[in-house]
Amino acid sequence: MNKFSNYSVLILRTERTHDDLELVVSELKIRGIQVFIFNVQLVAEGGLSFTDFINSYIWEEIDIIDVRYCRGIARNWLSTYKRIFDELQDFLQIQETRGNVITVTPSFATLHWVLYKAGYIKELQEQKISMIPTMIIPPPPDGHSEFDIVDYLNQAGSEGIVLKPAVGSGANKLEFIRKVIDSEYQYQVKSYYLDNHQEKQIVNFIKNYRELNSHFQDYCNQINIPILVQHFEKITSEISMIFVGEIPHCIERTTAPNMGIAHERFGGENILIINPPNKWLTFAQEVYQALPEVAKKTISLRIDMFERLDGKLVLSEIEGASHRTFFPEVLQFCKEHPLAEKRRIEQLDLNKIRALKKYVELLCSFKLS
C-alpha cells in the first residue's frame, strides 16, 4: 500500500507565482498525493473573505499546507498578508484542539523570522556572522531625523549605500545612492519599484547634501517601517545557495547592463554553478548552522551572499518565505534551450530533478515524522 494514500497537501499561491509550483504539483500527483490549490491573493484583495477561504475545504482532509508559492507576500506582508496568516494560525490552533493537526511550511514562526529583515540582521550581527555593514533605522518619529545619511555615505568608504525596507522583496522600493563628480550634481539615486506589476528603474540626480537628506526623510516617511542602510561595495559574484533540507545547490546571479541589480525582473540571469568553490559551500554551511531553529522550520531556505573584490564572502540576506528553489535541472534545461516554451520545461523528466524529489520527500515527511 502506498504510504501516501489519503495524504493531501493544500498549496497557497498568489496570482504571479513562480515556476516551482507546477513541478511540485506534478511530483506530488505522481506519488498519489491529493493536491488542493488556493489563490490567497483573492482574500488579500477583497475578492473573497477569510471565511470564504475556510469554507472552501474540509479541513479534516488536509495534512499539510505549503505556502512558498505566495510570491509577493513580503511586499504586502504588513498591510495585508500578516493579518491573513495570523487568522489562519488561529484557525489551525482551533483545529488542533479538535485533534486535527495540520502542518504548515514554512512555519508561521519561520515566516515572521525571515520576513522581518531588521530583526534577523541584528540577531546575526550579534553572532559575528560576516555581513554587509548594515544600519537599522527605526520608523518615524523615532529616529529618521537624527540619522545623517550624508555623514554615513561619507564614512562608508565604499561605492555608495543601499536603502531598502526591512520588510519587502523583489527589489521593490530599493535605492542605490552614490556620489558623483559633476559640476552641478553631487549624488545619483537609482530607485527600483513596481508599477502595476511592472518593474521600473528611475535615476535622479541630487545637487547637494541638504537635498539628499530631504530625499532620505521623504523615503523613510513613505516606507514608514524600519529601513536598512547598507554599504554598497564592488563585488565579483552575487551568489544564492539554496538549501533543500541541509544540502544546497548554487546559483550565481548576474546583472543586466546599466541596471546594477541582480534580479531577473530587471534583466539579470540566474546561472547554475555545478561545482561551486569550496569556500562558497563552507561559508553557506557556516551561516546555515548559525541560524536559529525557528529559521529552519521550512523545507527550503535561500542564503544570498556576495564575494567582494578582496575574496571575502559576506552575507546579504536570508530568503525562506516565497523564494524560488531554482531546481538545477530546470535551470540547465533553460540554458541549453533558451527559446523553449514553458510547456516544454514542464515536460522535463521529473525523476531526473533530484532537488524536486528531495523537496517532495521532505514535504511529505513533515507530516509523517
* 126 lies in the same domain as 139: no
Residue 22 within a domain: yes
pLDDT of residue 334: 60
Provide the pairing of β-strand 198-206 with 187-195. antiparallel
pLDDT of residue 110: 94
Give me the tens of pLDDT residue by residue for the chain, a chain 369 residues long: 455 557 899 999 998 787 788 888 888 888 899 999 999 999 999 999 999 999 999 999 999 999 988 888 887 888 899 999 999 999 999 999 999 999 999 999 999 999 988 889 999 999 999 998 888 888 777 655 678 888 888 875 666 888 888 876 666 788 889 888 777 888 889 888 776 666 777 889 998 889 988 888 888 888 878 888 988 777 788 899 999 888 788 888 866 555 555 555 555 677 788 889 999 999 999 999 999 999 999 999 999 999 988 899 999 999 988 888 877 666 666 655 554 445 455 555 555 567 778 888 888 886 544
| Cβ neighbours of 201 (radius 10 Å) | 18
* 16 lies in the same domain as 98: yes
pLDDT of residue 198: 66
* 70 lies in the same domain as 201: no
Structural domain span for residue 145:
134-232
DSSP-derived 3-state class of residue 64: strand
Residue 78 within a domain: yes
pLDDT of residue 1: 42
How many structural domains comprise the chain?
3
CA distances from 71 to 3, 68, 79, 81, 232 (A): 31, 8, 15, 11, 26
- Distance between CA atoms of residues 175 and 323, nearest Å: 21
Boundary (domain end) residue, out of 173, 208, 232: 232
